[in-house]
Amino acid sequence: MTKGTEIRYRVRGGTPLQGTVFVQGAKNAALKMIAAALLTDKGRTVLRNVPPIEDVRRAVELAQVIGARVEFHEAERTLVVDASTLTSPVLPAEIARRFRGSVLFVPALLHRFGEAVIEGVGGCNLGSRNLDFHYRGFARLGATVDEGESVIRITARDGLRGAHLYLDTPSHTGTENLMMAASLAPGTTIIDNTAQEPEVLDMIAFLSKMGAEISGGGTGFITVHGVSELRAVEHTVMADRIDAGVFAMAAASAGGEINLVGANLDHLGVVRWKLEQMGVEFATNGAVLQVHREKPLRPINVITSPFPGFATDLQSPIMTLATMAEGASYIRETIFDGRYSLAAELNKMGAKVEIDNNVAIVHGPSVLRGTEVVAPDLRGGAALILAGLAAEGETVISPGYYIDRGHSAIDERLRALGADVTCEEHEAVVAA
Ligand SMILES: CC(=O)N[C@H]1[C@@H](OP(=O)(O)OP(=O)(O)OC[C@H]2O[C@@H](n3ccc(=O)[nH]c3=O)[C@H](O)[C@@H]2O)O[C@H](CO)[C@@H](O)[C@@H]1O
Ligand SMILES: C=C(OP(=O)(O)O)C(=O)O
């Protein structure tokens, strides 16, 4: 541990939201596309609507450190990748450990170098986050996986070849990683039990433009016919449904009416219905989504599950809303067991959340009071900002880096809606 500067957010609650907010491009699609751009050794890939968030910056650094020429024009939300210059198959710990997307660089490295060396994989600390489906899939495609204590070496000197793969559960990045690996593996690959998240479909659209032959997206059963090469293309990243959900829930938390530009109601899946049950109103006005909340919130039962079920990434924000609802809400997290750490922070603000047998019981309504709270992870941090919007007094949330991993300029965008949210640097003890 060493002293350094850290970001924190300061929220003064009590103002209903009003106005228009722009939904960012999807983190969970953009990260995969940056990795996929490295599959081709010719030409320059252009990605549009790339969110200027910390995880994307880490992906850019990781691509650069292995030799790619990457320009991220943040103001234009545009990324240009030239992967003809790759020099190294080693994903170094200091960058790879800082975000989840690093494991998605493996297929390109296997195809380009016949080996990939991962010195670490990061991502939110949400309890156990295995990568066994990925490694088993690479092995079935013909790679040798050597899982050392801190370094994982995957080799495929003679290349990969099509095979029948399966996922024990429909893993989001697992599906994308194996699709990428199979795209350039001669023969046919079938992947059983694949994820159906909208980002997976956007990734299929991107890979297909590059020349990949992939069918079955959205069915849970994907077939990939390997091709001999992929080409650099231009693609616009889909809107971030989690960012949209967080802003919709910000309006639900503070009250008021907002316009979400770039949100797709269908991508919210069950989240939309649950928010409606709580008393949040949605209306589409052409391509703009209006979100309105006036009356007191009603309690809710939520079970997280893969798309179109209730997204685990929106479980923390809805826990914040449940603290304000009139009655007891029940929330069962089935994807990441570490996501209940938010409860203790909400309780510091006056909420009554108890964890019983892996279910969170939220006894509402509570009057939330601002205080200093710790963001346990990305979405837990966003959930605490939402709590701050409804709380009496001032809420200070740190570390802000977690929130910045996945939401771009959340303070500026909330201020545009009339909220009192600021972001500041402060001295803190940080991991070396
Ligand atoms: C960068 C990215 O896209 N992150 C998203 C992705 O994470 P990520 O792709 O890591 O999540 P997965 O869908 O893979 O994980 C789902 C569950 O499967 C388990 N599992 C997964 C892979 C594996 O090899 N072995 C295994 O046991 C995990 O521990 C977890 O319990 O999907 C999650 C679930 O929608 C989202 O919360 C994350 O925002
Ligand atoms: C868990 C998340 O991300 P990651 O998989 O990148 O850690 C998230 O986006 O909430």
Query: Is the CB of residue 197 less than 8 Å from the CB of residue 241?
Result: no
- Ligand 2 atom having least distance to the Cα of 313: 10
Domain contains 307? yes
The residue among 6, 10, 14 whose CA lies nearest residue 390 is: 14
Q: How far is the CA of 387 from the centre of ligand 2 (A)?
A: 20
Give yes or no: residues 79 and 174 share one domain.
yes
Peptide bond preceding 317 in cis form (omega within 30 of 0): no
Residue 423: active-site member? no
Protein residue with its CA nearest to atom 4 in ligand 2 = 123
Q: Which two tokens stand for residue 305?
A: 């599950």
Examine residue 233 and state whether it is found in any structural domain, yes or no: no
Domain that holds residue 190: 27-156+164-224
Whether residues 32 and 17 fall in one domain:
no
Ligand 1 within 6 A of CB of 279: no
Task: For residues 273 and 336, give the distance between their C-alpha atoms in angstroms, rounded to a whole number.
Answer: 22
Tell me the pLDDT band of 100, cut-offs 50, 70 and 90: confident
Cα 188 to ligand 2 centroid, rounded to whole Å: 31
List the Cα angle 307/311/315 in 5-degree steps: 165
Pick the residue whose CA is nearest to atom 10 on ligand 2.
Answer: 313
Tokens of 426: 């402060």
Q: Tens of pLDDT along 246-292?
A: 999 999 999 999 999 999 999 999 999 999 999 999 999 888 999 99
User: Of the candidates 333, 344, 348, 335, which has an alpha carbon nearest to the alpha carbon of residue 393?
Assistant: 348
Q: Are 210 and 266 contained in the same domain?
A: no
pLDDT in tens, 15-69: 999 999 999 999 999 999 999 999 999 999 999 999 999 999 999 999 999 999 9
Q: Is the CB of 284 under 6 A from ligand 1?
A: no
Question: Within this chain, do residues 7 and 56 fall inside the same structural domain, yes or no?
Answer: no
Shared domain check, 47 and 113 = yes
- Beta-bridged to residue 258, according to DSSP, are 19, 291
Q: Is residue 231 part of a domain?
A: no
Same structural domain, 264 and 149: no
Q: What is the ipTM of this complex?
A: 0.99
pTM over 0.95: yes
Consult the annotation and say whether 313 binds a ligand: yes
- 171 & 265 share domain: no
CA distance 301 to 303: 7
Instruction: Tell me, yes or no, whether 265 and 344 share the same domain.
Output: yes
Overall number of domains in the chain: 2
Residues 201 and 129 in one domain: yes
CA dist 94 to 30, 214, 217, 267, 273, Å?
21, 34, 34, 34, 41
Find the ligand nearest to 174 CA: 1
Q: CATH number for the domain including 219?
A: 3.65.10.10
Active-site position among 124, 141, 185, 210: 124
